[in-house]
Structure 1
Amino acid sequence: MESFEHARLVAYFGKLSNHFASTSQAASLLVTHLLPERPVFIQAVASLTRLRAVLPKPKSIHEGARFEVERTVAVDTLSRELFSEPDTALNYLESRAGGEDTVLLDVGGYFAPVLADLHERFSGRLLGVIEDTENGHRRYQNLEKLPCPVISVARSPLKDPEDFLVGQSVVFSTEAVMRGRGDILHGRPTLVIGFGKLGSSIARLLHAKGVRVTVFDVDPIRRTQALSQGFTVARDLEGALGTVGLVICATGALSLLGEHFSHLHNGAYVATVTSSEDELDLRGLPDVYTRATAGDHVTRYQTTGHYFYLVNGGNAVNFLHSASVGPFIFLVQAEILAGIRMLSRDDLAPGIHEVPGTDRAAIAATWLSYFNR
């Protein structure tokens, strides 16, 4: 990032931090992709909360950004295991924010499995959670009962530009990896699993490149949407897997179970838009498959008479090329700051909430003043 770009970003977040400042500050834990531009956003979070720790997503850590953040705040190791057992999660939360009013800033529903226990047993007060992704939104939505407010920015209109550009970066990175092995997209029919905001963006971009695209989604409404947009819609997943040379998983949930892999066409590539633990049941893959490196960021899985290629170990393919979506990511990050103010007021009932339209409009107007030049 050029120095003038960095200065503009600091000014943008400074203005919004002042706009969303609250009379009281809670402690916070922040899960985030620790990408090169992220320290400025982290500084904004620290200006609105007592930021106790940053938990970077394991597959998206830029070492320069990590070094910069570590100078002012603890950077801890994030894993699903850390927040899968109540006692382990509680011990960690106590070690970082014991006795304090605390907000949890999440990307992917990490806190969801233990939220009720943390809310009940934490020595401080858990004011709520802010969730950034559709996958995480569903994890919290599927809980039997939410013990505290969860503010979701996953379905915000301010996230639409990011989702579209993430779709572009997924297609770009997938094509780049394939070309590195001498393969191309054209002539390789593709199955997109999941026709949400990301999946539909990916399907349209592939179609624009002349790729024949089939869509599979468990939601019948989305299947009708895909049909209306001119895509072939698979009647069943297993049958579709055997007819394509590329599979892009874009559900944010388990797209492929262990038994599905044997249905893949020989030589098919599999790529995902999120982490392998969310999209793929690789542990369920039959033991008869062996693994071998087949090129940069490509693993070949093989057994007698069958083989397929997995891109980036099953993790988000676009992070191979920084997953950059330009300044549009700063819209959603600003909405997270608005969510912090909402939780700091401590007047929301348990349940899922959204940032008000007036706050979104203020964010958009501020963003345009800095980045529409």
Structure 2
Amino acid sequence: MESPEKARLDAFFRQITTQFPGDSRITSLIITHLLPERPAFLRAMATTTAVRAVLPKPRSIDRSTLAQVRRTFPVYDLSRELFADSTTALDFLEDTAAGKEVVLLDIGGYFAPCLETLVGKFSGRVLGVVEDTENGHQRYAAFDHLPCPVVSVARSPLKDCEDHLVGRSIVFSADALVRGRGDILTSRNACVIGFGKVGRAVAQTLRAQDLRVTVYDSDPVKGVQARAQGFRTSSSTTEALQDAELVLCATGNLALRQGDFAALRNGAYLASVTSSEDELELGSLHGLYRRTPVGDQLTRYEVTGHYFYVLADGGAVNFVHGAAVGTYIHLVQAEIVAATAALSNGQFQPGLHATPASDRQTIARIWLDHFDR
């Protein structure tokens, strides 16, 4: 990042943290993508709270950024297993923030499996969670009764700009990896599984690049929306996959299970827009399919009479190329800062919440002042 851009970004976050002041006595644990623009967000979080742990998502770590962040913040390895077991999760929280009041920043519902234990048994106090993604939102929404406030920015209007550009970056990366193998996607049949905001953007971008797009979503309302926008739709995952030469999974849940892979046509390319463990049950294929690397970020899965290609080991394909979406990412980051400040000030009761519309409007005005020039 060039110096003028860095200065503008720091000035933006200074105004955000002034508008939404936190409490430096409050501790935060932050799960995050660690990409080149992320240190400015972490510095803003350090103004809002005391950052006791940065946990980078394993498939979205820029090594030079990691080295930079390590000089300022404590960085820990992240895995689903760390927070899947309540005892391990509680031990980690006690080791990093014993006796403190804590806000947990999440991307993908990592804290969901252990949240009741953390709230009930931690020596300090969990003030709440801020969740950034749709799949994480769904994991917290599945609770009958949340034990603490969870503020989700996943469905925020401020995220729409990011989601649209994420869709474009996903198609760019999928196309680049396929071209690296000497193949092209133009005029192919494509299938998008999941027609949420990102899935919709992916489908629209594929169509704009002259692919024939079929959409499948288990929610019939989204199926109607896809059809109204001119996409072919299918009544099942199997039907959607049969003719697809490119399959992009954008459900935020488990899109393809073991039995679904057999429906992929020979030579199909398969990619995910979120973490592989959230979309693709690839682990179930080990021992059944031979796995052979055939290019950069491209793996061939083969069993007698059937083969297909998986991009980026099933991880979010756009992170292969940095997942850049420009300055729009800072709208959501600012909303996360505002949500953290609200939790630190006790503004929410236990349950699932969104940030107030007035806060989003304030963030949008500040963003326009700094970046719409």
| TM-score bin (small chain) | over 0.9
Matched, 1:265 2:241: no
Deviation at 1:354, TM superposition (A): 1.0
Question: Identity, % of aligned pairs?
Answer: 55
Partner residue in 1 for 2:306: 306
Deviation at 1:22, TM superposition (A): 3.2
- How do 1:196-345 residues align onto structure 2 when only pairs under 5 Å count? 196-285=196-285, 287-345=287-345
Q: Distance in 2 between matches of 1:94 and 1:23?
A: 20
Deviation at 1:63, TM superposition (A): 1.3
- How do 1:32-181 residues align onto structure 2 when only pairs under 5 Å count? 32-181=32-181
Whether the 8 Å CA contact 2:22–2:47 is kept in 1: the answer is no
RMSD across aligned positions (CA): 1.0
TM-score, normalised relative to structure 2: 0.98
Q: Distance in 2 between matches of 1:150 and 1:288?
A: 40
Deviation at 1:187, TM superposition (A): 2.7
Counterpart code for 1:107? I
Q: Distance in 2 between matches of 1:173 and 1:182?
A: 14
Q: Distance in 1 between matches of 2:76 and 2:187?
A: 45
Q: Once structures 1 and 2 are overlaid, which stretch shifts more, 256-265 or 338-347?
A: 338-347
Q: Distance in 2 between matches of 1:187 and 1:129?
A: 44
Deviation at 1:347, TM superposition (A): 3.9
Counterpart code for 1:351? G
What does the per-residue CA deviation read over 1:191-218, in whole Å, with 9 as the maximum and x for residues that have no partner? Answer: 1000000011111111111110000000
Q: Distance in 1 between matches of 2:301 and 2:156?
A: 38
Whether the 8 Å CA contact 1:193–1:248 is kept in 2: the answer is yes
Q: Using a 3 Å threshold, how does the CA distance of structure 1 residues 132 and 245 change in structure 2: closer, same or farther?
A: same
Counterpart code for 2:280? L
What does the per-residue CA deviation read over 1:104-137, in whole Å, with 9 as the maximum and x for residues that have no partner? Answer: 0000000000000100000000000000000100
Counterpart code for 2:254? L
Q: Distance in 1 between matches of 2:265 and 2:337?
A: 46
Q: Which runs of 5+ in 1 are unaligned?
A: none
Whether the 8 Å CA contact 2:148–2:350 is kept in 1: the answer is yes
Classify the secondary structure of the residue corresponding to 1:251.
coil
Counterpart code for 1:210? D
Classify the secondary structure of the residue corresponding to 1:31.
strand
Whether the 8 Å CA contact 2:23–2:341 is kept in 1: the answer is no
Classify the secondary structure of the residue corresponding to 1:78.
coil
Partner residue in 1 for 2:20: 20
Q: Which runs of 5+ in 2 are unaligned?
A: none
TM-score, normalised relative to structure 1: 0.98
Whether the 8 Å CA contact 1:25–1:344 is kept in 2: the answer is no
Deviation at 1:237, TM superposition (A): 1.2
- Give the number of aligned pairs: 373
Deviation at 1:23, TM superposition (A): 5.1
Q: Distance in 1 between matches of 2:140 and 2:94?
A: 22
Deviation at 1:286, TM superposition (A): 6.3
Whether the 8 Å CA contact 1:109–1:137 is kept in 2: the answer is yes
Q: Using a 3 Å threshold, how does the CA distance of structure 1 residues 18 and 294 change in structure 2: closer, same or farther?
A: same
Q: Distance in 2 between matches of 1:176 and 1:23?
A: 45
Q: Once structures 1 and 2 are overlaid, which stretch shifts more, 132-141 or 179-188?
A: 179-188
Counterpart code for 2:22? S
Q: Distance in 2 between matches of 1:134 and 1:7?
A: 31
Whether the 8 Å CA contact 1:132–1:153 is kept in 2: the answer is yes
Q: Distance in 1 between matches of 2:295 and 2:347?
A: 54
Counterpart code for 2:294? A
Classify the secondary structure of the residue corresponding to 2:365.
helix
Deviation at 1:239, TM superposition (A): 2.3
Classify the secondary structure of the residue corresponding to 2:278.
helix
